[in-house]
Amino acid sequence: MASDMTRNNSTLLLLLFLTLFIFYTSHLVNSSNYVYVPYSEFKLLVAQGKVKSVWFKGDQLKAILKQASALDQHSKKIDSVKTYTPALGDDELLGLLEENKITINVESSDDGNSFISMLLGLAPFILFVGIYLWFFRKIGASMGGGLGQDKRISGFLKPTSNVSDAPPDTTFDDVAGQENAKQEVSELLDYIRHPKKYQALGANVPKGVLLVGPPGTGKTLLARALAGEAGVPFCSISASEFIEMFVGVGAARVRALFDQAKEKAPSIIFIDELDAVGRARGTGLGGGNDEREQTLNQILSEMDGFSGHEAVIVLAATNRPDVLDPALLRPGRFDRHVTLELPDIVAREAILKVHTRKVPLTDDVKLNEIAAATPGFSGADLKNLVNEAAMNAARNKAEKTCMDDFEKMRDKVIFGSARKLVMQPEERHRLAVHEAGHTAAAFYLSEADPIHKVTIIPRGQALGLTQQLPENERYTLPLPYLKHRLAVMMAGRVAEKTFLGNVSSGADDDIKQATALARAMVSRWGMSPEVGPIDLRESDEHPFLGREITTPRTHSESSANAVDEAVRKILMEAETLAGDVLEKHKALISKLVTQLEAKETLDKDEIYEVFNEG
Ligand code: ATP
């Protein structure tokens, strides 16, 4: 094997050397000491009697001067020149040379250099053939009598997995929250540690566990922690790495990965992004699909092939369980599903604790407050937030990371970086009025989420922002809450109407979001008495990606009209509610507008101070 590789490499080296040699020799042949001059200047030198002899070769003309002399465009003295004869010919030239008694030599244009020219022409071809041979020998060496049959794993077929003999040093302590998932996965621990006990009783332990959850919720981390706790090697690979340009390579890589894991058993195989190869078969077109299906078939047959005494557990992660091939999910394969959720407030605090272990913090940092201010953040988002905050502290040359670093970086992560925008005073005033409207509605409406902050500094796509933070995690959304939430969304536009007498395009995103929410209330949650409790949605939301997948409409035109009408009614009611609130507190809202224009950003305390005065 090693000598094969050496021989292949030396062939390539030889070809490279040959190519370089050809280029080098051709360069030598073409190089000369002659200096190029225009044809007219050459004739002038002849006429001035400075030329001793000339050589004709094809259209090339070289001349030796009687003595070295400095020419116009050359600083050095020159003793020989070169030029090209005009294609139209020059009847005078021969007479002129003879007149000046110049020795005339003529060389044949066909000489030994033509061989070199031929080689030069062939050089790219030789190089291409060399690389081609080298590449396919490399594949061939690993395939042996058939793909991977001889169990030799070359660099090409070797899965790009991370396999180490030593177990990972991650443990369940590094996985914060996710108690249910940890509990389910830890049931496998005893089997991995003492497989014989189970085998003696003829117990069938699950071979495959599917970890399902949104991106960044710690699926990889949990699998690694299981290997760390069990003290066994961890072989991990991303399913997308199986797929190559050549059909069959993915299957060979799967075989190689399972072989490696079996050699090291007891061990854990972790396949990330299983949906990259595990989508239901028989869908899509083209060779890439064949390759994917072959790879999937190989995974299935490898999982079937485990004999009872091989303690290898396969964990796989996906955030699209709905698209997986049913054969992957049947008993004996990935029949056990463990769901990882986005962390709640308690888990977020625990995750922040894990990731701030090595980050020096000032006393004002309250991890519970950061956790409360980051709903919807995944474990990966929180880790990133800690890192950004620490980097901000380092940029400010501080010795410890403080609460302000977290607050600033949280806003940056959620809303994007602050933008510098030159705004006309009237436009800035309108923006302050709009945001003050949202803020007042959030403050005065009893069911709305409490107000956290308001700013008129443009960030990301938004010109201004009003931020509310729920006091507790919400798992369901009651109707009164939704009505007040819609009124807060509409309050920006209503404030413009109330205080400036007209509306602007600034409510674009508010209207979009409010319409989507109202549509969900009507078509999914049965919250419109006119439409009733009937599912009239036109798209399906993916549970783990939060994306909508459009499906063909199954209801009638009149139902669609009824939904539109009910959505409009809900939005108009929200607008009226917002109008009533703002009308009642006009004086204090004006005060808030003035403060907002002066300070640009107001935090919760400053907002409460203004409104509580009244
Ligand atoms: P993907 O679906 O994108 O592959 P994943 O669910 O596999 O994501 P991981 O790669 O395990 O997510 O997590 C990303 C990072 O987030 C890890 O470095 C980990 O440190 C951190 N993280 C995620 N969840 C947790 C958690 N519960 N406790 C501590 N750290 C976490």
Q: Which amino acid is at 232?
A: V
The pLDDT tens digits for 179-205 are: 888 888 888 888 887 777 777 787 766
> What percent of the chain has pLDDT above 90?
31
Confidence of residue 29 (pLDDT cuts 50, 70, 90): very low
The pLDDT tens digits for 103-137 are: 888 877 655 556 666 767 777 777 777 776 776 56
Choice between 187 and 284, residue whose per-residue pLDDT is larger: 187
Residue 469 maps to a domain: yes
- In this structure, the answer to whether residues 440 and 506 fall within a common structural domain is yes
The pLDDT tens digits for 207-238 are: 788 899 888 999 999 999 998 988 888 888 87
Residue 373 maps to a domain: yes
pLDDT confidence of residue 145: 37
Q: Report the nearest-CA residue for atom 10 of ligand 1.
A: 220
Residue 219 maps to a domain: yes
DSSP lists the bridge partners of residue 601 as 455
Confidence of residue 273 (pLDDT cuts 50, 70, 90): confident
User: Is residue 4 predicted with pLDDT exceeding 50?
Assistant: no
Mutational pocket test of ligand 1: of 383, 384, 386, 544, the residue with most ligand atoms within 8 Å of the beta carbon:
383
From the list 435, 538, 541, 557, the catalytic residue is: 435
Residue 119 maps to a domain: no
What is the rounded average pLDDT of the residues 560-571? 94
Residue whose pair of structure tokens reads 């009239």 in the numeric block? 536
| Most confident segment among 210-219, 236-245, 460-469, 508-517 | 508-517
DSSP lists the bridge partners of residue 416 as none
Q: Which of 3-17, 103-117, 423-437 has the lowest mean pLDDT?
A: 3-17
Residue 328 maps to a domain: yes
**Ligand 1 site residues, Cβ closer than 6 angstroms:** 175-178, 213, 215-221, 272, 317, 319, 351, 354, 379-380, 383
Residue 408 maps to a domain: yes
Q: Is 339 helix (H, G, I), strand (E, B) or coil?
A: strand
Confidence of residue 439 (pLDDT cuts 50, 70, 90): very high
Question: What's the gap between Cα 421 and its chain centre?
Answer: 29
User: Is residue 27 predicted with pLDDT exceeding 90?
Assistant: no
Residue 120 maps to a domain: no
- In this structure, the answer to whether residues 247 and 383 fall within a common structural domain is no
- In this structure, the answer to whether residues 406 and 439 fall within a common structural domain is no
The pLDDT tens digits for 354-363 are: 999 989 999 9
Residue whose pair of structure tokens reads 């880790």 in the numeric block? 383
Choice between 250 and 592, residue whose per-residue pLDDT is larger: 592
- In this structure, the answer to whether residues 460 and 396 fall within a common structural domain is no
- In this structure, the answer to whether residues 93 and 229 fall within a common structural domain is no
CATH of the domain at 395: 1.10.8.60
pLDDT confidence of residue 151: 43
Q: Which amino acid is at 103?
A: T
Q: Is 523 helix (H, G, I), strand (E, B) or coil?
A: helix
- In this structure, the answer to whether residues 328 and 431 fall within a common structural domain is no
Distance (angstroms) between ligand 1 centre and the Cα of 168 equals 15
Average pLDDT, rounded, for the chain: 81
Counting from 1 in the atom list of ligand 1, the atom nearest the Cα of 272 is: 4
Cα–Cα distance, 298 to 255 (Å, whole number): 7
- Other CB atoms closer than 10 Å to residue 446's CB: what's the count? 7
Burial zone of 324 (CB within 10 Å; 0-12 exposed, 13-18 middle, 19+ buried) = buried
User: Is residue 160 predicted with pLDDT exceeding 90?
Assistant: no
Domain end (from 359, 390, 415): 415
Domain end (from 311, 339, 367): 339
Residue 157 maps to a domain: no
pLDDT confidence of residue 148: 38
Domain end (from 277, 306, 339): 339
The sign of the dihedral angle between the CA atoms of 479, 480, 483, 485 is: negative
Confidence of residue 290 (pLDDT cuts 50, 70, 90): low
pLDDT confidence of residue 585: 94
Confidence of residue 548 (pLDDT cuts 50, 70, 90): low
User: Is residue 22 predicted with pLDDT exceeding 80?
Assistant: no
Q: Report the nearest-CA residue for atom 31 of ligand 1.
A: 379
Q: What is the DSSP letter of 129?
A: H
Mutational pocket test of ligand 1: of 210, 220, 273, 386, the residue with most ligand atoms within 8 Å of the beta carbon:
220
Confidence of residue 31 (pLDDT cuts 50, 70, 90): very low
Give the domain extent around 390: 345-415
- In this structure, the answer to whether residues 15 and 89 fall within a common structural domain is yes
- In this structure, the answer to whether residues 192 and 310 fall within a common structural domain is yes
pTM recorded for the entire structure: 0.66
Structural tokens at position 269: 């195989």
- In this structure, the answer to whether residues 301 and 371 fall within a common structural domain is no
Structural tokens at position 394: 């380092």
Distance (angstroms) between ligand 1 centre and the Cα of 379 equals 5
- In this structure, the answer to whether residues 411 and 435 fall within a common structural domain is no
pLDDT confidence of residue 330: 77
Distance (angstroms) between ligand 1 centre and the Cα of 195 equals 29
Q: Which amino acid is at 106?
A: V
Choice between 416 and 16, residue whose per-residue pLDDT is larger: 416
Residue 595 phi/psi, 5-degree rounding, is: -65, -40
CATH of the domain at 84: 3.30.720.210
Q: Report the nearest-CA residue for atom 22 of ligand 1.
A: 379
CATH of the domain at 577: 1.20.58.760
| Most confident segment among 103-117, 168-182, 237-251, 379-393 | 379-393
Number of domains in the chain: 4
Cα–Cα distance, 533 to 529 (Å, whole number): 8
Q: Active site includes 435?
A: yes
pLDDT confidence of residue 325: 80
Choice between 542 and 600, residue whose per-residue pLDDT is larger: 600
pLDDT confidence of residue 478: 95
Choice between 511 and 282, residue whose per-residue pLDDT is larger: 511
- In this structure, the answer to whether residues 321 and 388 fall within a common structural domain is no
Counting from 1 in the atom list of ligand 1, the atom nearest the Cα of 350 is: 28
- In this structure, the answer to whether residues 351 and 399 fall within a common structural domain is yes
CATH of the domain at 277: 3.40.50.300
- Other CB atoms closer than 10 Å to residue 30's CB: what's the count? 10
Mutational pocket test of ligand 1: of 221, 272, 387, the residue with most ligand atoms within 8 Å of the beta carbon:
221
Q: Which of 147-161, 170-184, 200-214, 534-548 has the lowest mean pLDDT?
A: 147-161
